Amino acid sequence: MNNITVASDKRHFKKGKSDFFYLADTCWSAFTNITLEEWEEYLIYRKMQGFNVIQINTLAQWDASKTKLNIFPFNKNEDGTNNFYSLNQEYFDRAEKMLDMAVCYGFTPALVLLWCNYVPDTWAAKFDSSNILPLDMIEKYVEYVGKKFSKFNPIYIVSGDTDFPGEKTKEYYKVALDTIKRVAPECIRTMHIRGRLMDLPKEFEESESIDFYMYQSGHNSIHKDMTYLLAQNFYKKKVKKPIVNSEPCYEQMGYSRQMYGRFTQFDVRKALWQSLLSGASSGITYGAHGIWSWHRNEGGFASSIGEGFDKPYYWRDALKFKGAWDYSFAKWLFDNYDLCAIEPLEGCIDKSEEIRIAGKSDLSIVLIYIPVNTTVVINKEFNDYEFEIIDLSNRYFGKPQVEIKDGKTVIGMHSFDEDALVIIKEKTI
């Protein structure tokens, strides 16, 4: 079983000797909410779609949908509260079995060690401080997880949805990071941070113990430009690392802050391509509203917790959302066109930042994402190139109208209803 590693260019991943495009599904609540029969059904379907990573919270997800499984990571005190010094062996044995099943189906687990509600002073701890873990048990807990799960060669996500308001918060994550590196040095590590957060604290951003950057463009309806702004921001960091948008808007999730409206298939596809073509080209994470929380209609959903999203869909309905196919199609393109190390090409298009362009360093292949139909002018002549255009909503392939003159390449308006991807490929002799 090959570990995932960082390639020598520090921009993409390898698995063994092959490039590895990180295509994750968000299933934060797997260990507490999913029966083994449901888990296998889920794995079979996502494998068929081409997903290769599953992001899971190792501890209980604080805003998951309600469940009747009644299995949690800590044993209880006599008064019913969690005994944070007593890990529930049954819970972790069950999680181990689920990970074994996932790996057998070809998935790499990406395991969050400390979601932010377990850590003091974070934004989530201010909502509910009842689950703050004692600092003196963090090493014991992380060591236990590392020894039990590292045989599956997971990616370890040290933090979950976190901000870093003070030294106490950073101390927790530093203990967790140092411990997992000691116990599982062969597994790569990262940190999942709060939506729209532009920076990690310097001691994590520049640390050799953090192998790649994760950012979260999030679920806020008025900040949709974070998909590309955050990608650009992390791409320009002094310390070069692969970049993944680990939590773009989830399909059919209600807008955060209980605002009316839901993210559509188009919204999540736009987040996908704007991320990949703006510097975060090593992979992408998909989310379906009903899968991440593993929702059952009879189970209920506490919309007042966290960011206050509208009710999720039943998990079997959410599993079949069509946007997941858009993400697997992106993986197919990246694998077949060898695009894992493409770089954003800034200043090539003047019309709108919404239109994203990226290419290989030698410009042998260039991609342009056009979310809304318009004529696109590129400040470069692409002579001796072939042009294809893909209707992303239907995955139709066609030939765009192209005119090259006066140092520019002009791509005419296409006839598709929604967004399109243009592939510009150097002709071969």
Per-residue model confidence (pLDDT) at position 41? 98
pLDDT number for residue 6: 98
Asked if 309 and 406 sit in the same domain, the reply is no
pLDDT, mean of residues 71-91? 96
Q: Are residues 239 and 92 in the same domain?
A: yes
pLDDT tens column, 217-239: 999 999 999 999 999 999 999 99
Domain around 381: 345-426
**pLDDT, tens digit (0-9, with 9 covering 90-100), for 257-297:** 888 999 999 999 999 999 999 999 999 999 999 999 999 98
Q: What band does 200 get if pLDDT is binned at 50, 70 and 90?
A: very high
What pLDDT, on a 0 to 100 scale, did the predictor assign at position 187? 98
pLDDT of residue 232: 97
**Residue 372: Cβ-neighbour burial (10 angstroms; 0-12, 13-18, 19+):** exposed
**Are both 282 and 361 inside the same structural domain?**
no
Q: Let me know whether 166 and 211 are in one domain.
A: yes
Please indicate, yes or no, whether residues 402 and 325 belong to a single structural domain of this protein.
no
Q: What is the CATH number of the domain that holds 376?
A: 2.60.40
Q: 121 and 8 in one domain?
A: yes
| Unique residue bearing structure tokens 């959410």 | 318
Task: Say what percent of the chain tops pLDDT 70.
Answer: 98
Q: Which of 306, 325, 341 is the last residue of a domain?
A: 341
Contacts of residue 420, Cβ cutoff 8 Å, sequence gap at least 6:
369, 370, 373, 389, 390, 391, 392, 414
For residue 175, CA distances in Å to 25, 92, 102, 134, 208 come to 28, 21, 28, 12, 15
Nearest Cα to Cα of residue 356 among 271, 256, 244: 271
Q: In this model, does residue 303 exceed pLDDT 70? A: no
Mean pLDDT, rounded, for 185-197: 97
Q: Which residues contact 201 (CB under 8 A, 6 or more apart)?
A: 164, 170
Beta strands of 9-89 (E only): which ranges? Answer: 13-15, 18-20, 22-26, 53-57, 74-76, 82-87
Last residue of a domain, one of 341, 360, 385: 341
| Residues 6+ away with beta carbon under 8 Å from 320 | none
Query: Structurally, how many domains does the chain consist of?
Result: 2
Work out the pLDDT band at 305, boundaries 50, 70, 90: low
Rounded Cα–Cα distance for residues 347 and 353 (Å): 10
Helix (H, G, I), strand (E, B) or coil at 137: helix
pLDDT at 128: 85
Looking up tokens 């990690």 gives: 200
Q: Are both 210 and 359 inside the same structural domain? A: no
**DSSP β-ladder status, 213-215 and 243-245:** parallel
Are 153 and 195 in a shared domain? yes
